[in-house]
Amino acid sequence: MEKDIETEILVKLAKIEENTKGLDETTKIAGTAFHLAKELEKRQDRMDISNKWSWGFIITLGITLIGYFLTKL
């Protein structure tokens, strides 16, 4: 009786180990993906700042050119 319970526990433990075998690798992959996403978020923030500066420059240049042509008329 006790031997059967011990065997059953060992079988269940083996099943649990088999089912959780890939968790370490999955955790590594998830960690790598998380760090990559954070880095891409930082890069996108830098691109947004750069785009705002570029649009500001283009608008200022356009207003300056329009003002120049209006004063020459």
State residue 36's pLDDT score.
96
Please spell the DSSP secondary structure of 10-40, one letter per residue: HHHHHHHHHHTTTHHHHHHHHHHHHHHHHHH
Question: Per-10-residue mean pLDDT for the chain, 73 residues long?
Answer: 86 88 87 95 86 88 92 83
The Cβ of residue 53 has, within 10 Å, a number of other Cβ atoms equal to 10
- What pLDDT score was predicted for residue 19? 83
Give the pLDDT confidence score for residue 66 in this predicted structure: 93
Amino acid 63: pLDDT: 94
Give the integer Cα–Cα distance in Å for 4 and 9: 9
Copy the structure tokens of residue 53. 């500066």
Using CA atoms, how far apart are residues 42 and 27, in angstroms rounded to an integer? Answer: 23
What are the domain boundaries of the chain? Answer: 2-72
Report pLDDT for 33.
Answer: 95
Q: What is the pLDDT of residue 1?
A: 72
